[in-house]
Amino acid sequence: MIISAMVAVGENNEIGKDNDLPWRLPNDWAYLRRVTMGHSIILGRKNYESIGKPLDGRKNIVLTTNKDYKAEGCHIAYSIEDALSKCEGEEVFILGGEEIYRQFLPYTQKLYITKIHAPFDGDRFFPTIDYSLWKELSVEKGIKDEKNHYDYYFHVFEKIK
């Protein structure tokens, strides 16, 4: 099973603000949907609550330490190992937030990172990546239009073994 992380970052590695995304970028959301459809996805409890519902067509696994926690349409996991043991299929996607990305980074083999070339006010950040340990597989410029105001690029990296 390949463990992949998928994230969008601003110019300073910011990923969140007040338990929400610092930007609106529908094209990135559509890209995430396309890439993760049919796969298992792992989310932190705060990220899950920020989204507010399970992502359709995917096995949603929500990490929490609260044994009483319930989220309709989701599987609940209480540790990294527990979350991974509930995954099915060839590739699993770690969807954040910050706490989750940091803990899974040592196990992450593939990184789908949307780099938005603009600064945002953030209170959550993606960990600093040592790109000498990663090989870029692809990069594609995102379309800028009236609904997607920024310059942004979809990168895919693979950890060098």
Report how far residue 111's alpha carbon sits from residue 5's, in angstroms, rounded to the nearest whole number: 5
121 SS3 class: coil
Longest dimension (CA), the chain: 44
Q: Which residue lies nearer to ligand NAP by CB, 39 or 46?
A: 46
Residue from 8, 61, 74, 87 touching ligand NAP (CB under 6 A): that is 8
Spatial contact of 15 and 96, defined as CB atoms under 8 Å apart: yes
Min dist CB 161 to ligand NAP, Å, is: 25
Residue by residue, DSSP assigns 70-113 as: --TT-EEESSHHHHHHT--SSEEEE---HHHHHHHGGG--EEEE
Is 15 near ligand NAP (CB under 6 A)?
yes
Q: Which residue lies nearer to ligand NAP by CB, 127 or 158?
A: 127
Is 113 near ligand NAP (CB under 6 A)?
no
Given the rule CB under 6 A, which of 52-60, 74-82, 134-142, 143-151 is the region that contacts ligand NAP? Answer: 74-82
Spatial contact of 62 and 76, defined as CB atoms under 8 Å apart: yes
Burial readout 43-67 (b: 16 or more C-beta within 10 A, e: otherwise): bbbbbbebeeebbeebbbbbbbeee
Q: Which residue lies nearer to ligand NAP by CB, 118 or 160?
A: 118
Is 142 near ligand NAP (CB under 6 A)?
no
By Cβ distance, which residue is nearest to ligand NAP? Answer: 97
Is 154 near ligand NAP (CB under 6 A)?
no
Residue from 3, 4, 5, 21 touching ligand NAP (CB under 6 A): that is 21
Report how far residue 134's alpha carbon sits from residue 83's, in angstroms, rounded to the nearest whole number: 25
Question: Which residues are at the interface with ligand NAP (CB under 6 A)?
Answer: 7-8, 15-16, 19-21, 44-47, 50, 63-66, 78-80, 95-100, 103, 124
